[in-house]
Amino acid sequence: MALIEVKNLKYSYDQKKPAVDDVSFEIEKGLYYTIIGHNGSGKSTIAKLIAGLLEKESGEIIIDGMPLDRENLYKIRSKIGIVFQNPDNQFIGSTVQDDIAFGLENHCVPQEEMDDIINTFAEKVGMTKYLHSEPTHLSGGQKQRVAIAGVLAMHPQILIFDEATSMLDPQGKAEIKKVIMDLHENSGLTILSITHDIDEVVTSDKVMVLYEGKIAMFDTPEEIFKDEKTLVKLRLDVPYCLKFANELKKYGVDPGHEITTEGLVEKLWQSSLKK
Ligand SMILES: Nc1ncnc2c1ncn2[C@@H]1O[C@H](COP(=O)(O)OP(=O)(O)OP(=O)(O)O)[C@@H](O)[C@H]1O
Ligand SMILES: [Mg+2]
């Protein structure tokens, strides 16, 4: 059984064009999904619908066997953690520790358990040293790591990142991508990451491509990045690795199914050694 089942989901902010238009898909437990698509294609709206932050107009959302309706809303919300784009909007506490503790306090977790939980998750995101720091003194990447720790402390089954790296500098981006990859490999959590970062997409298990509120493609990164023309039509950036692979073909080197830069360089070496 899929962890998330979405059937004929529809949502409109106004009476004009639906932001999510009759979308159906399934999310398997433990996999890492990226969601891509042009600006306004409906990515954030789908994330908010799944997380119960917006109420669907029609269709079905079933999470862990439970329909997402008013009756199950709080049970389902507790299964999902969401991290947004702007690191400055995610802080509630006056220190890192308070911030990670915030959700726990709301769930009446006893103080003696709370310290252990805070330490565990601060360590998971590499922020133990900063537990007593003020959030304003942290870098964007560090703030996002604290936001992730706060979400993890609530023991969700599903993590949603809505462009969690897009406002960060290259170092912050790399830190957060590493945390996401580590969670994917070691935590068994199901991850949905909305991103414009093609390098991140390449490392995910499956990619959902949205176009004007509908699913245009839903496949492995290898399949999605096969066809440059389709990506251009969907108003997506053509990733560097795909341009590289296409250039190699022009010079008679077969890139096979390789989509990483390192793999393509290896193919190029092999081919030049054969000559
Ligand atoms: N609060 C809102 N009120 C009215 N319309 C909205 C609102 N939020 C989004 N929309 C519209 O709904 C559509 C889908 O928006 P959504 O934010 O889901 O797109 P997105 O794929 O996340 O885009 P981006 O890459 O810019 O974040 C767009 O046409 C957008 O203008
Ligand atoms: Mg968005």
**pLDDT at residue 272 tops 90:** no
State the pairing for strand pair 80-83/58-63.
Answer: unpaired
Burial of 93 (0-12, 13-18, 19+ CB in 10 A): middle
Ligand 1 neighbourhood includes 235 CB (under 6 angstroms): no
Ligand 2 centroid to Cα of residue 109, in Å, is 33
Ligand 1 neighbourhood includes 13 CB (under 6 angstroms): yes
pLDDT, position 102? 87
Residue-wise pLDDT tens digits, 83-103: 999 888 877 778 999 999 988
**pLDDT at residue 271 tops 70:** yes
Query: In 10 A of CB 14, how many CB atoms?
Result: 7
Ligand 2 centroid to Cα of residue 13, in Å, is 14
Distance CA 249, CA 244 (A): 9
CB contact at 8 A, 34 and 218: no
Ligand 1 neighbourhood includes 30 CB (under 6 angstroms): no
Q: Residues of the chain with pLDDT > 70: what percent?
A: 100
Instruction: Write out the two tokens for 197.
Output: 């970062």
Mutate to test the pocket of ligand 1, among 14, 41, 53, 197 (most ligand atoms within 8 A of CB): 41
Residue-wise pLDDT tens digits, 23-81: 999 999 999 999 999 999 999 999 999 999 999 999 999 999 999 999 999 999 999 99
Sign, Cα dihedral of 181, 183, 185, 188? negative
Ligand 1 centroid to Cα of residue 1, in Å, is 30
Across 235-252, average pLDDT: 83
Ligand 1 neighbourhood includes 153 CB (under 6 angstroms): no
Strand residue runs (E) in the chain:
4-11, 20-27, 32-37, 58-63, 66-67, 80-83, 158-162, 190-194, 206-211, 214-219
Ligand 2 centroid to Cα of residue 211, in Å, is 13
Looking up tokens 């080197």 gives 253
Instruction: Write out the two tokens for 90.
Output: 């995610």
With bands split at pLDDT 50, 70 and 90, how would you rate the model's confidence at 133?
A: very high
CB contact at 8 A, 33 and 27: yes
Distance CA 20, CA 191 (A): 20
Sign, Cα dihedral of 74, 141, 93, 88? negative
Helices (H), 153-227: 170-186, 198-203, 221-224
Q: Which of 3, 50, 1 is nearest to 23 (CA)?
A: 50
Question: pTM for this structure?
Answer: 0.90
| Nearest Cα residue to atom 2 of ligand 1 | 13
Instruction: Name the strands in the sheet holding 66-67, side by side, starting at the edge strand that comes first in the sequence.
Output: 20-27, 4-11, 58-63, 66-67
**pLDDT at residue 275 tops 70:** no
